[in-house]
Amino acid sequence: MARVARTPSLSSTLLVAGAPEDEPCGSRSSCGSSVDSVADSGSDADMRSTSIVGMGSDGLLGGALFRSEDFASTLDLNAILADGQTADEAAATPHDRLVAIKLGAASFGYHFAVLLIKITPFAATYAGQRVCGLPLKSVLALAQTCGYLTGKPLALLIVPKLRRERLLHGLLLVLWGQGLALVLATRHGAIALAGALYVGGVFGAAAWGLIVRLCEGRARTDAIMSCVSFCAMGMGGVAKSAASALLGAGLPNGGMMCACATAGLVLGSATAALLAAQEPPSMADVALRGERRELSSVREQGVRLIRRHGLGVALATCAYVLVGTLRAYRDFYQPELFEAVGLGGRPALFAASELSVAACVLTFTAALSIITDSWVALNVILAAAMSGGLALALATFLFRAHAYSSGFAWMLLVGAGAFFAYVPVGTVLYERLLAAAHEQLTTSMLSILSDAAVLVGTGLLLAADSMAAARAGRAPHSAHGATTATIATPPAAVEAGAVFELFSRIAVVGGVLVGALLFCAALAFNASVRKTREASSMLGLPVSDFAARAQLHVRAPAGIGAPLMAQAGAPSEAAVHAERVDVGERLAPNRARAPPVP
């Protein structure tokens, strides 16, 4: 047995467990078809393919719905594992842990750099400036949200198709597009600043998808994405605090924004280079999670992916939008909610509640890396998210019914329920879905789609709040939630009571809906995973989970040797021809001649 070898990608390697010519094939009658067809072609050349059986051909089920290029390679995992070693053990080497730590730190730093550029304009003071009858800060928030909504379709078309060597260019383009737009607009008035935030939103819409592309498909993707989520949840306040400190030191608004943007550009450029410098997932990573290849065509491969898992994706996205809007409402109206439960003007409690919730949710998300069976992990994620939605509803219902009286406990439970329903779905759900279904496609397309849907809900909420603020003559709420400064200034008691009444009713109904939608999504995902595995089996590809370490014993073609690790290089014409033969024509004779399973 050979230990795990590091290559740029498993798609450039065909692993064959050598067996004597008279040794029977393993548990599948068709498992030797791919190798036999190459042997019949008389070629010992390199075989670089992620889909040996029927590459590029329509599958046996649903016409173009199933194509073998979308599914996992036929692997003998014994060829990359030492005696008695499992794939998760092979992925737990000190080197792999170091790579995961570097990715977590770099993705955290890059996301924080983006936040420095994105959030600091909202820490500035605008002394009652208005544009078109609306407060300037509200206009800035709407401009940035519209920019993100404009950029998401572009990100959807571009990010999933980028080759790995182009991802660094994408990271730098996003960063510098945002930063330069902000710096250039600081001396040209309010309208220019709103335009800069719109342009920055267009560029920034691709940031999350690019980070996902570099971190997906690894044994520790869950832990890595937890670092990014912690930055998104907890570092916005740090960025605002840094901006406020600069203003307190005497810098004007423009100087503060230029300083923060410059710091963000320097930090982001360094961390982007560190992110892109990390090696691709090892073969042990791919054995556990599958390969996350870029899409050759969003219209074809993306549509096929949506058709295979569309019902579950739609239900999960609806739940994600609903809980995301609830979370945004909680963030926008945090001062009013704290005042309504008798905790107004106590910013330390606000910080304590946020940190406690973040610690619980992110510890859970990181711990998902322990679960190597992706189908099991998929159901654990959905169960946790469903429980979060129901906990949100139950905690609010009991608080309204005076079953308990602690306002801080209610805020804590509401935050935990909302984020348990929100964070795992937004970070690792689709990674585990595609791994469980043996899909070989990037998760970035599904992540961008769900983020765009949440942006629509948040944008509608922000627009409604701005119009309500204009009618009531009050200042609108920040697009990036409350800070300790806003918590320290209690709002009017009447307004706080109205906000609490509306939020508590929405939370009860919305939490139940989130739980129901995610329960239905779990049923739909399990059905689609089962169907996709059956389809991959009919295509001659392995049906067992990566984490099960399926042992596919195949006959090695003459002259190649065993075990074989084909070196990276272009495939021969004969090998390509053998790979492109129609699936039906090849599987039938191979199944007929295969010896019975002993």
Kindly give the confidence (pLDDT) of every residue in the chain, 598 residues in length, as a single tens digit, with 9 standing for 90 and above.
333 333 333 333 333 333 333 343 433 333 433 333 333 443 333 333 333 333 333 333 444 455 555 655 444 444 445 545 555 555 557 788 889 899 999 999 999 999 999 988 888 777 667 777 677 777 888 888 889 999 999 999 999 999 988 999 999 999 999 999 999 988 887 888 989 999 999 999 999 999 999 999 888 899 899 888 888 877 777 787 788 888 888 888 888 999 999 999 999 999 999 999 998 888 888 888 888 888 888 888 888 888 899 999 999 999 999 998 888 888 777 777 888 888 766 666 666 777 778 888 888 998 998 898 899 999 999 999 999 999 999 999 999 898 888 888 888 889 889 989 999 998 899 999 999 988 888 888 999 998 889 888 877 877 776 666 666 655 555 555 555 445 445 555 556 777 788 888 889 999 999 999 999 999 999 999 998 888 776 655 544 334 333 333 333 333 333 333 333 333 444 443 444 443 344 344 444 444 444 4
Cβ count near 596 (within 10 Å): 7
The pLDDT value recorded for residue 479 is 52
pTM of the model: 0.74
Q: How far apart are CA 205 and CA 226, in angstroms?
A: 20
Residues 427, 226 contacting (CB under 8 angstroms): yes
Q: Are strands 15-16 and 564-565 parallel, antiparallel or unpaired?
A: antiparallel
Cα(250)–Cα(105) distance, integer angstroms? 32
Count other Cβ atoms within 10 Å, centred on residue 553: 18
Contacts of 256 (CB under 8 A, 6+ apart): 120, 123, 124, 243, 246, 247
**Cα(417)–Cα(381) distance, rounded to whole angstroms?**
13
CATH 1.20.1250.20 in the chain, residue ranges: 90-284
Token pair 């070693």 is at which residue?
A: 85
- 90-284 adopts what CATH topology? Growth Hormone; Chain: A; (1.20.1250)
- What tokens appear for 372 in the block? 């190597």
Per-residue pLDDT at 514: 95
